[in-house]
Amino acid sequence: MSKNSSADYDVIPLTGELDTDSAGELRQRLMSVASTSTASTIVLDLSRLDFISAGCVRVIVEFWNTMTGQGRDVQVGGLHGMPERVFDILDLTPILARRAETADGVRGVHAGD
């Protein structure tokens, strides 16, 4: 997790492949962030993510529900390729995706932006 000191958000990079076998580890990592971070916004940086399973998307949605229940925000940055298609198909892009204007190292919602 990286903390941006000039704004009230934390950036959590997710890399490689998040498959069914990694859903439990992802859940633990995100729930740890939910209980320890004091940021009002958590940005999940998917710019280096190659694959995401439905189970891991479900974990991200659960994390979003937990955080919004606490009055906090979760956004996804760096969507591209297959993960972007999954978020688009599930109609999660309008809810979770963000542009890169505030997060260092997080690319825009679409790779062509």
Count the Cβ atoms, other than its own, within 10 Å of residue 81. Answer: 12
pLDDT on residue 14 = 97
Question: For 59-109, how does the pLDDT look when each residue is reduced to its tens digit (9 = 90+)?
Answer: 999 999 999 999 999 999 999 999 999 999 999 988 888 654 434 444 333
Count the Cβ atoms, other than its own, within 10 Å of residue 92. Answer: 17
Question: For 23-68, how does the pLDDT look when each residue is reduced to its tens digit (9 = 90+)?
Answer: 999 999 999 999 999 999 999 999 999 999 999 999 999 999 999 9
In Å, what is the CA distance from 70 to each residue of 28, 56, 91, 108? 18, 21, 23, 26
Report which of residues 102 and 22 the model is more confident about. Answer: 22
pLDDT on residue 7 = 61
Q: How many CA atoms lie within 13 A of 82 on its CB side?
A: 12
pLDDT on residue 95 = 86
Cβ-Cβ contacts under 8 Å for 111 (sequence gap 6 or more): 80, 81, 84
Which CATH architecture fits 2-96?
Answer: 2-Layer Sandwich (3.30)
pLDDT on residue 2 = 52
pLDDT on residue 110 = 31
- What residue spans define the domains of the chain? 2-96
